Amino acid sequence: MSRGSGQGAVTQPDDRFYGGSGPGQVPGQYGQDEYGGPEGPPGGPDGPGGRAPRKQRRFSWPKRILAGVVVLVLLIGGYGTWLYFHASGQIRHEDVLKDYPGRPAEGKGTNWLLVGSDDREGLTRDQQDALHTGTGAVTGDTQRTDSMMLLHSGSHGTSLISLPRDSYVTIPAYTDGKGKQHKESKNKLNAAYAFGGAPLLIRTIETTTGLRVDHFAEVGFGGFVKVTDAVGGVDMCLDKPLKDELSGANLKAGCQTLNGAQALAYVRARYSDPLGDIGRMQRQRQFLAALAHKVSSMGVILNPFKLVPTLDDSLAAFKTSNGTSLGDLYDLFSNMKSVNGGGGHTIVVPIANPDYNVPNVGSSILWNQTKATQLWTALRNDSEVSGFTAT
């Protein structure tokens, strides 16, 4: 049929109205102006009726690198956030820091009381025998403190002070778990823990030293072994062999990696040591500093497959006072690490008599009260303590 005028003629639309580019093209408003019509010029990039193709957008290498960095930061940030909340949920808190009339006021710096107890929680009878821990109830009956240390951090660095467990001190009046009241008495320091647990031990140390304890942390035998094994053991260098039947220690001289069982025996041995409890306290401080160094090493921190189990085992092994956060525990390990790196002082309370015999109490350690008071005053004022004998 003819396209001209006449009956049946088809009227062509006005291309100007529809935005087309010429006769025979589909109007541009339909989005098909890149293709030639059946009678019009061929479409495509080379045809007069086509439109040039859009250029594909390509990212430059700097932009790709930046995008990769952003994604990596988001992943690390997400992992770090998850890890923080996961670890915070593993902390075991206990209400042990009690207020009482005459409690020392808060001083300068921060004071931690670190306690190693003979708590056998989580250990079977066979494990107790293998670790030479004695035969107490699995969950602990009358527990005792195997080691006690005060860690002070302040403007003059970190000081780690060992408190001999046989120190002859005054234990404040207390009420036991059965409601029976006990008067103030003189006894060995570790008796305070056996009589009234951590709250009475803390009060005894606070009233004896005049220092306020800001944070408390305790680890039992089983927890100690788990933490050491979780980090793959701890490297120690022994000047001479150490063999102690009661603790189970049987270590050669020289540098070696101690596993959990060996480490526990190492820090508990005292009967074969000529220095007795003093020598044991030296080893305890050395080991704790080395352990803190290992926990904070890059080999642990940068390996999520090692970091998460280490955090879980470490935090589950510790009992801490209410209000102690993950950040506080990080500061604790950092300060312990600084002691090992020469950034602090390790001190034993000044002693007047290491074998002070007391009727009904036994051989005790008597402090040099004059020098001990000077030490506590320096710590309370956050002053320099380098004048005290470090061992």
In this prediction the pTM is 0.71
Q: Are 335 and 149 in contact (CB under 8 A)?
A: no
Confidence of residue 278 (pLDDT cuts 50, 70, 90): confident
Tokens for 11, please give them: 């009227």
User: What is the distance between the alpha carbons of residues 19 and 235, in angstroms, rounded to a whole number?
Assistant: 83
User: What is the distance between the alpha carbons of residues 283 and 379, in angstroms, rounded to a whole number?
Assistant: 23
- For residue 192, what pLDDT is reported? 95
Instruction: Classify domain 92-380 at the CATH class level.
Output: alpha beta
Closest by Cα among 303, 120, 353, 369 to 222? 120
**Which are the contacts of 204, defined by CB distance < 8 A and separation ≥ 6?**
169, 170, 171, 172, 189, 192
- For residue 24, what pLDDT is reported? 46
Q: pLDDT digits over 264-276, tens only?
A: 999 988 877 777 7
Q: Where are the domains of the chain?
A: 12-49, 92-380
User: What is the distance between the alpha carbons of residues 273 and 51, in angstroms, rounded to a whole number?
Assistant: 94
Q: pLDDT digits over 350-362, tens only?
A: 999 999 999 999 9
Q: pLDDT digits over 100-134, tens only?
A: 999 999 988 999 999 987 766 666 777 776 776 76
Inter-CA distances, 331 with 158, 220, 276, 277, Å: 11, 21, 31, 28
CA atoms within 13 Å, Cβ hemisphere of 110: 13
Confidence of residue 16 (pLDDT cuts 50, 70, 90): very low
Partners of residue 347 on adjacent β-strands: 161, 390
**Which are the contacts of 252, defined by CB distance < 8 A and separation ≥ 6?**
238, 241
Tokens for 375, please give them: 């030490």
Inter-CA distances, 74 with 61, 64, 71, 298, Å: 20, 15, 5, 21
Q: Are strands 318-321 and 92-94 parallel, antiparallel or unpaired?
A: parallel
